[in-house]
Structure 1
Amino acid sequence: MTEPQTPGRAPSDPQWERSLLERLAFASLKEQRAARRWKIFTRLAWLGFFVALAWLALLRAAPSPSTSTAHTAMVEVKGEIAAGADASAESIVSAMRSAFEDEGARAVVLVINSPGGSPVQAGIVNDEILRLKAKHNKPVYAVVEETCASAAYYIAVGADQIFVDKASIVGSIGVLMDGFGFTGLMDKLGVERRLLTAGENKGFLDPFSPMSEAQRAQAQAMLDTIHRQFIGVVKKGRGDRLKETPETFSGLFWTGEQAVQMGLADQLGSLDYVARDVVKAEDIVDYTQRENVAERLAKRFGAAFGEGAVRALRAAPALR
């Protein structure tokens, strides 16, 4: 006779035990495969990332092919002039060097549309324009689109001639330093500013601390010095063409038509006009340095993996 089984009690059938062990083994194997696949994917992704970086490095290192036929070389100066920006000194100077070194380039035209920016970056570009002109004996022209103000005009005066549209905005030969002061508001709110410094002027221009007259004078002297440097560059670049008035270096700006009358610009004209009628080379070749597809992919890929790495580090156990 067959012995009856007690309800709720695990069967002693060896088939049941074998089935359970198989399920546990398959689950463990599945988990190991998933971990192995993720590891392989991660390694391949990092390999692809480094291949993209190597490709980008080769693209940057490889010399640009020379355009032997006669043409007008164009370099754009657009947006804020600042380190790390599209219109940084590094980017503009590199593009200008490529343009000057190309034997087919009859002249270099800077197409400017910028409200200004760093006087340091603009000064580097201006100095390099003068150096490259003397070295390669090629003319440089500036063509203003909508705006050529402040640091952008600092760059433009390095050109042999400046062409503008009648409605362009030109000028703003001045220097500024801006910020906010919250000391009065803090007094009304009863907030105390606790700033510890080593050096009595280390907190200079801190918006939550009052500015002394000595600090104000120091800041103004610095601005005046940079302004004098700016004025000197403009006078050197424009020479006798400049019709100086008390307002010329006041920070005001004017239309392109007024700028021509004041000697801040030479005449009305577009890029096509300059290439066709001034340079006598209608073909225009753009030497502006732009971020290519590889750079964009590398940056996005790197940012994504960087974020993933940070999350992994936060989740990983650490020795205490």
Structure 2
Amino acid sequence: MSVTDKLTSRIPGLADRGDRKDVVSVVKLHGVITPQASPLTRGAINLSAVESALTRAFDHDRLKAVALLINSPGGAPTQSGLVAERIRQLADKKGVPVLAFAEDVAASGGYWLACAADEIFAHRTSLVGSIGVISGGFGFTGLLERFGVERRLHTAGENKSRLDPFSPEKPEDVEWLKKLHSQLHELFVTWVKERRGDRLNAGDELFTGDVWLGAKAVELGLIDGVGNLREVLAERYPDAEIAVAEPKKPLLAKLGIGAPAASLLEAVSAKATWARFGL
């Protein structure tokens, strides 16, 4: 609730005026889902970054619904889960419907976020799905030797240096990673089934990591309809005021200042995540 609304609500006669419009809040969830943001990337989604926007979005006293405008190729599974769970906590507390709208892509963790909504819509050209788990890296086993660099690695615990990029890859480490992926994938599938329920119209082929365009996603039950935010909200809530809740940015992020090397690596990683979907 804004300061003006709080003051108005305490003045007899003003709080009951009939000219106060209902509100539909819009929260933009744009970017790669990552624990850390970078000034060089196209935005980033994590609980710390979006908490303020989500809180403000659900705080209106005349709130009719909250719309999530999603454009994300995915990213960190933990942050996907934390943000989605926070959306559900706020929605259940407020007792309002949540609508998700996919733009270019709502894939992997981006689709995880969309499933926090009660209904999901997408453009006919949107990419939706990618219900799977992926991780990647590089191997530099010969690089140090080539430049005459000796690496010294000391650990306590036989598995502490698993998947070290400067050591030869071990089959047992790859097997461990695959098991971890399987567990995360199972959690993802469970979340989708829990949120989409009987609306899902296909079997295990939904969970192979594939993506589909909007119309096919409707057919499979991954989303509820083809449409954009303006169309759907105008039809559902024609008299409501649209209020966009923007997250508060840290001062350094506003100035575009960050650690150059780390920011560059994060930007490359984010670009690779978008590139998996041709974006």
Does residue 76 of structure 1 match 2:34? no
Give the aligned partner of residue 139 of structure 1: 97
* Alpha-carbon shift at residue 157 of structure 1 (Å): 0.5
Give per-residue Cα distances to partners, 1:259-300, cap 9 Å, x unaligned: 111100000111111221123444211012143889736x86
Pairs within 5 Å for 1:268-283: 268-283=226-241
Distance 2:134 2:3 in 1: 39
- Cα 1:131–1:292 shift into 2, 3 Å: closer
Name which structure has the greater RCO, CA cutoff 8 Å, separation 6+. Answer: 2
Tell me, which stretches of 5 or more residues in structure 1 are unaligned? Answer: 1-61, 304-320
Q: Percent identity?
A: 39
Give the aligned partner of residue 236 of structure 1: 194
**Conservation of the 8 A alpha-carbon contact between 1:193 and 1:209:** no
SS in 2 for 1:158: coil
* Alpha-carbon shift at residue 182 of structure 1 (Å): 3.3
Q: Residue 246 of structure 1 is aligned with which of 193, 204, 213?
A: 204
Amino acid at match of 1:94: S
Q: Residue 88 of structure 1 is aligned with which of 28, 46, 59?
A: 46
Give the aligned partner of residue 97 of structure 1: 55
Pairs within 5 Å for 1:1-320: 66=5, 69-85=21-37, 86-183=44-141, 194-291=152-249, 296=254
* Alpha-carbon shift at residue 97 of structure 1 (Å): 2.0
Amino acid at match of 2:77: P
- Cα 1:203–1:141 shift into 2, 3 Å: same
**TM superposition score normalised by structure 1:** 0.67
Give the aligned partner of residue 273 of structure 2: none
Which 10-residue stretch deviates more, 113-122 or 181-190? 181-190
* Alpha-carbon shift at residue 66 of structure 1 (Å): 4.7
SS in 2 for 1:247: helix
Q: Which structure: greater strand fraction?
A: 2
**Conservation of the 8 A alpha-carbon contact between 1:140 and 1:159:** yes
Give the aligned partner of residue 274 of structure 2: none
Tell me, which stretches of 5 or more residues in structure 2 are unaligned? Answer: 7-19, 38-43, 260-279
**Conservation of the 8 A alpha-carbon contact between 2:23 and 2:60:** no
Number of equivalent positions: 240
SS in 1 for 2:101: strand
Give per-residue Cα distances to partners, 1:58-83, cap 9 Å, x unaligned: xxxx9665596312100000011122
**Conservation of the 8 A alpha-carbon contact between 1:72 and 1:281:** no
**TM superposition score normalised by structure 2:** 0.76
Which 10-residue stretch deviates more, 103-112 or 180-189? 180-189
- Cα 1:84–1:212 shift into 2, 3 Å: closer
**Conservation of the 8 A alpha-carbon contact between 1:71 and 1:284:** yes
Distance 1:268 1:230 in 2: 24
Give per-residue Cα distances to partners, 1:200-252, cap 9 Å, x unaligned: 22221111212222222211111111111111110011010012333211111
Which 10-residue stretch deviates more, 181-190 or 241-250? 181-190
- The Cα RMSD (Å) is 2.9
Q: Which stretches of structure 1, 4 residues or more, deviate above 4 A after TM superposition? A: 62-68, 184-194, 292-295
Distance 1:269 1:123 in 2: 26
Amino acid at match of 1:241: R
SS in 2 for 1:217: helix
Give per-residue Cα distances to partners, 1:113-163, cap 9 Å, x unaligned: 111111111101111222222211100000111110111110110101001
